[in-house]
Chain A
Amino acid sequence: MQIFLIILGVVALIAILIYNSLIGKKNQVENIFAGVDAVLKKRYDLIPNLVASVSQYMEHEKSTLEKVTEYRAQAMKPGISNDQKIALDAKLTSALGAINIAMEAYPDLKANENVMHLQRSLNEIEEQISAARRAYNQAVTDLNNAIEMFPTNIVAGWMNLQRRAVFEITVTERQNVDVNALFNR
């Protein structure tokens, strides 16, 4: 009888420890996502400025600029889920990247002090976003591992924890820049 009680006690203790570690991991993910959100917001704040300053120069990129504005509006909507934010961020990053490359073709833009300043700020924020993304991905990987690995997966099942999505590098970021296409425009 006593042995049974001891075993029961040990099992309960382990279950509590696992439960607490899972809660800790889940909160870490949310905590870091708040950090990601903060830097993403910083970028959203800069976008209207950037679009307003470059749109008069960049006639050919009108559609890209419109897309950027649209993504920003979507991302700023209240009540969208984290996964949606992650997806929008990927689109926004690739669209901004395209603008960045296209700007090379406009010497007037490069001479514009205001635009250059905006671009510097964007580059800086891009670095911060990249850091926040990496931190988030690590926290999510920790949580996802715990959800799938034995024996934490049993407790995670009871708690009804779901796997989270990580930030992925967008396809356009992975592709090398096609220098030829840039010159032949």
Chain B
Amino acid sequence: MKSTSELTDFYYKELYPSINELEETRKQIISQLKFYGGMGIVAFALAVLWMGKNFGLLHPLMIGIVIGFIAIASITYRFMTNGYAKDFKAKIITPLIHAIDPHLLYNPDFMISQHLFERSDLFKHSIDRYSGNDYVKGSIDGVPLEFSDVHAEYQTKNSKGNSEWHTLFRGLFLVAEFNKHFKAKTVILPDLAEKTFGNLIGGWLQSMNMSRGKVIQLDDPLFEKHFVVYGNDPIEARYILSHSMMKRIVDFQKKISHPLFISFVHNHIHVGIGTGKDLFEPAVFTSLLDYKQAMEYVNTLQNTIGLVEELKLNEKLWSKV
């Protein structure tokens, strides 16, 4: 697998013609956006003035006008950047993924199946809306894996009877084959209770979580500080979470600085990285040549695909051939 610096080199050298081309489109889009934005503001001001003269500024119709303008603005923005986003994925992200491994499949419009997401058992709430994009599938060092952006939401009704959408998980979701056989279910979640309430009360709160299995106390204090582990087989949980595995997970958590959700179900490892945003999307208002921007694309890919090496999923135990 290529290192981060090699990939950054690839981004700036091999992809330079495509980046330049896209950069031109981006500048055009920005000038168009400025033009339409200016027109929109003028039209909005005129509408407000007209309303103020005829009905008064606090008329209920005002809300309609504001919402209408926001809707038109967001549709225009989508429409204008859509082609650019497609080009960006075809010309930048696809070659970048193939530079890591030419056998990886990439589909910008597809996502990891909802079945796999639910199988992970990481999120207990039922899902009412499931979407995603940027699906990658293949095998790294002989370890089959797939990942994509995922946005899972659920709906609630508030006291007025209006429905509200809540995000259950948004970020990168990865499923890979695990190198050990196991039958039970082991779930690792960020340790919010212990961080907020301290060791004693937090620990008690965790054990009170009825929807989960039993809390499994592990013998790595650093790991325990970051995570809480639920499972129905204490021996198997420790078989999976060997000392070295716990250390690797803690190291990975330190590297990514987003909430990390890991579960071991059905001989597979499921990893959710709660970035809270849609990854691999082109930035319209920052240059593609911007180093920070480039590093974000490269690092996200590198960290995700590198997880196989990071967690040593490629080190097959001898019995599992």
Which residues of A are in contact with B by a Cβ distance under 8 Å?
Answer: 32, 35-36, 39, 120-121, 123-124, 127-128, 130-132, 134-135, 137-139, 142
Contact A127 to B239, CB < 8 A, known contacts A32-B234, A120-B319, A135-B234: yes
Contact between A32 and B235 (Cβ–Cβ < 8 Å)? yes
Contact A128 to B318, CB < 8 A, known contacts A137-B219, A138-B234: no
Contact between A124 and B318 (Cβ–Cβ < 8 Å)? yes
9 smallest CB-CB distances across A and B, nearest first, come from A120-B318, A131-B239, A131-B238, A124-B319, A135-B234, A135-B235, A134-B238, A35-B235, A132-B235
Q: For this complex, into which size category does the number of interface residues on chain B fall? A: 10 to 19
List of B residues within 8 angstroms of A120 by Cβ = 318-319
Contact between B239 and A124 (Cβ–Cβ < 8 Å)? no
Complex CA–CA separation, A132 to B237 (angstroms): 10
From residue 211 to 229 of chain B, which have CB atoms closer than 8 A to chain A?
217-219
Complex CA–CA separation, A150 to B261 (angstroms): 36
Tell me which of B217, B235, B238, B318 has the highest count of chain A C-beta atoms within 10 A of its own C-beta. B235
Contact between B234 and A127 (Cβ–Cβ < 8 Å)? no
Contact A121 to B319, CB < 8 A, known contacts A137-B219, A138-B217: yes
Contact with A along B233-257 (1 / 0, CB 8 A): 0111111001000000000000000
List of B residues within 8 angstroms of A32 by Cβ = 234-235
Complex CA–CA separation, A120 to B235 (angstroms): 20
Say whether B58 faces chain A, with CB atoms less than 8 Å apart.
Answer: no
Say whether B75 faces chain A, with CB atoms less than 8 Å apart.
Answer: no
Contact A134 to B318, CB < 8 A, known contacts A32-B235, A35-B235, A128-B239: no
Interchain CB contact (< 8 A) of B238 among A121, A123, A124, A135? A135
Interchain CB contact (< 8 A) of A131 among B217, B236, B318? B236
